[in-house]
A and B are shown apart, each in its own frame.
Chain A
Amino acid sequence: MFEVRTLRSRILLQVVLALMTIPFLLPLVEMVRGAFAGRGFENFVVVWQTGVVPTFFKNSALLSLAVISLVYVGSLTAAFGFSKLRVRGKEIYFWLMIAALTLPEVILLSPLFVTFTKLQMYNTLFAVILPLAALQLPFAVLLARNFYDGIPSELIDAGRLDGASTAQVFWYVIMPLTKPIASAVVVLTLINTWNSYLLPLVFLQDRANQVVTLLPQFFIGQYSNDQTKILAAAVMTAVPTILAYVLMQKNFERGLSAGALK
């Protein structure tokens, strides 16, 4: 957008860019510096030896897998119905779902706490899976529906004329076309679930079923005065996320930007 002709202005632009980027890097530098302070790499060994790290990661993976499955199946089928099939009063159903987009999750705490306690689901992964999936489904439906609306209906009519059922049309005609939107839904749901904090904080009390976002808190309880261990734990939770992003840059950027814009 900037037209830079002279060498001087090109260098200037490059310097401005670097100056704007460095502040984004500093906290990450601080994290690594803090994690290696004191006893250096041994901080990581000590954190690892508490034995809880793999459990927390396993729980986060399970949680993400469950939420993604629910959101994936729920959103793709519903969006197909909303976009291509006849449903009486469908815009009412649609807007009732979309209104849920504005819902802050903190509203769910009291009612779900009371309900889950009664149903004996408090302190199980289900207590987090269900609300997280319900909170993310509306958006995924909106995304997928916008995408399906762009698929010509003639494709479906053609499938029908060949005698295919609705399910067959969905499976053989629509599904192969949905890759871009499906991967956006998966990445967006993955990041939101993996990084979710409030619902796990309230509903997962047992160490055996806690997730990675609760890891720093756990170590704060464990080593209240030893910042280095807490930061080592933070590095251990940050690295997989950064790696995943760097390896799948396009998918992450597309998924998150799809998430921001309707």
Chain B
Amino acid sequence: MTTKSTMARTSARARSLGRPAPGTRGKNRLNGLPWILPAFIFVAGLIYYSVGYTVYISTLDWDGLSPQAQAVGLGNYTGMLADPVFWGSLRHTAVFWVVTFVVQTTLGFTLAAIMHSRVKFATLHKVIIFIPTVLAAATMAPVFRLFFAEDGMVNDILRGVGLGSLAHAWLADASTALPVIMMITIWQWTGLWFILYYAAMSQIEPELLEAARLDRAGNIRTLWYIVWPSCRGTTVSLAMLSFIGALKTFDVPYLVTTGGPYHSTEFLGTYIYRMGIRQAHIGYAASISIVLLILAIAGAILIGRANRREVGE
């Protein structure tokens, strides 16, 4: 934990000094261009080339292989507006973001607060909660298909506690498939949320907590009025991270439900894959990709700006 707090402090110091960093304006500086160019050309070359190419493809009606691609202008984009599956994936993404963010934040924050209290076997609990974060979604997908199947562990447990009437094939039911996808995501990422809140709580001045205690503030009040506001920066970063993460969602829905049943777990990522690779409507897939990219950049800017404004107050 010490290293983590050192790191946080270092970057805080860097920020307070402002960019460009001190010393960069000295007169004897050599040209730094050769140092940044290799990475820059590599990243910008590959990524901006791809984005530019995608913009171009998005104006075509093309299967990706045939020599005749038909230019359709903005046809793919207007088609999107009338495509219920596209709107469905946007809706799923929004629900998915809000639910996973709220649940992960609640769980991660609570767990971090508990682990900062005097509890036994803290490391063991931490390892169990963090393991899902390091495992590949691809590895766990078959496990979750079994876990939520008719004869899986979830139904075993429900029957065991007398809730057998709830037992069913969770992933085959269009009304429960999306909640299951969200649960898997929460299972996977709560560990990271927990670690970050834990680090943020280590930075709170002990005097602040002492003062609250002297004022006879209870545990809940202390958590709500002192600890939670102190973790604000972490919460905002996680909001942005989970927003972009929600837009990028692919592995879990693709591997666990392939977007089904009846597109009930379709996300932008899985829909782009389905259209572009499976059905070879590369032009249409590219136009959805562009919308996705615009949403990601706009969202990141909005959240970042909202944060800066509140901090400035």
How many angstroms from the CA of A220 to the CA of B142 in the assembled complex?
9
Determine, out of A43-51, A61-69, A244-252, the stretch whose residues face the partner at the interface. Answer: A244-252
Task: Please name the residue on chain A nearest to B269 by beta carbon.
Answer: A106
* B7 interface residue (CB < 8 Å to A): yes
Partner of A241 from the list B24, B49, B134, B292 (CB cut-off 8 Å) is B134
Given known A81-B35, A93-B36, A134-B42, contact A214–B128 (CB-CB < 8 A): no
- Contact residues of B between 12 and 39, Cβ < 8 Å to A: 13-15, 17, 19-26, 28-36, 38-39
Partner of A180 from the list B7, B144, B209 (CB cut-off 8 Å) is B7
Task: Please name the residue on chain B nearest to A258 by beta carbon.
Answer: B7
Contacting pair B19 A86 (CB below 8 A)? no
- A interface residues, tally (CB under 8 Å): 116
Given known A24-B128, A107-B54, A254-B3, contact A34–B146 (CB-CB < 8 A): yes
Contacting pair A87 B4 (CB below 8 A)? no
Contacting pair A147 B144 (CB below 8 A)? no
How many angstroms from the CA of A234 to the CA of B26 in the assembled complex?
56
Q: A253: which B residues are within 8 A, CB to CB?
A: 4, 130, 195
* B248 interface residue (CB < 8 Å to A): yes
How many angstroms from the CA of A81 to the CA of B143 in the assembled complex?
46
Contacting pair B234 A261 (CB below 8 A)? yes
Contacting pair A131 B46 (CB below 8 A)? yes
How many angstroms from the CA of A149 to the CA of B3 in the assembled complex?
17
Q: A195: which B residues are within 8 A, CB to CB?
A: 134-138
* A173 interface residue (CB < 8 Å to B): no
Contacting pair B38 A77 (CB below 8 A)? yes
Contacting pair B26 A157 (CB below 8 A)? yes
Task: Please name the residue on chain A nearest to B298 by beta carbon.
Answer: A102
Contacting pair A114 B293 (CB below 8 A)? no
- Contact residues of B between 228 and 268, Cβ < 8 Å to A: 234, 237-238, 241, 244, 247-248, 250-251, 255, 268
Contacting pair A242 B134 (CB below 8 A)? yes
* A231 interface residue (CB < 8 Å to B): yes
* A120 interface residue (CB < 8 Å to B): no
Contacting pair A104 B292 (CB below 8 A)? yes
Given known A26-B153, A78-B40, A134-B47, contact A234–B139 (CB-CB < 8 A): yes
Tally of A-B Cβ pairs under 8 angstroms:
342
Partner of B135 from the list A16, A153, A241 (CB cut-off 8 Å) is A241
* B300 interface residue (CB < 8 Å to A): yes
Given known A3-B213, A227-B142, contact A81–B36 (CB-CB < 8 A): yes
Task: Please name the residue on chain B nearest to A77 by beta carbon.
Answer: B35
User: Residue among B4, B36, B115, B191 with the most chain A CB within 10 A?
Assistant: B36
Given known A20-B111, A213-B138, contact A160–B199 (CB-CB < 8 A): no
Given known A104-B248, A149-B21, contact A245–B131 (CB-CB < 8 A): yes
Q: B152: which A residues are within 8 A, CB to CB?
A: 30
Q: A88: which B residues are within 8 A, CB to CB?
A: 33
Given known A93-B40, A153-B23, contact A146–B50 (CB-CB < 8 A): no
- Using a CB–CB cutoff of 8 Å, the interface residues on chain B facing chain A are 3-4, 6-7, 10-11, 13-15, 17, 19-26, 28-36, 38-40, 42-44, 46-51, 53-54, 57, 64, 107, 110-120, 125, 127-144, 146-147, 152-153, 187, 190-192, 195-196, 199, 201, 209, 213, 219, 222-223, 227, 234, 237-238, 241, 244, 247-248, 250-251, 255, 268-269, 272-273, 276-277, 282, 285-286, 289-290, 292-293, 296-297, 300
- Using a CB–CB cutoff of 8 Å, the interface residues on chain A facing chain B are 1-4, 10, 13-14, 16-18, 20-21, 23-31, 33-34, 70, 74-75, 77-78, 80-88, 90-91, 93, 96-97, 99-115, 130-131, 133-135, 137-138, 141, 146-150, 152-154, 156-157, 160, 166, 180-181, 191, 194-195, 197-198, 202, 212-217, 220, 227, 230-231, 234, 237-238, 241-242, 244-246, 249-250, 252-254, 256-258, 260-262
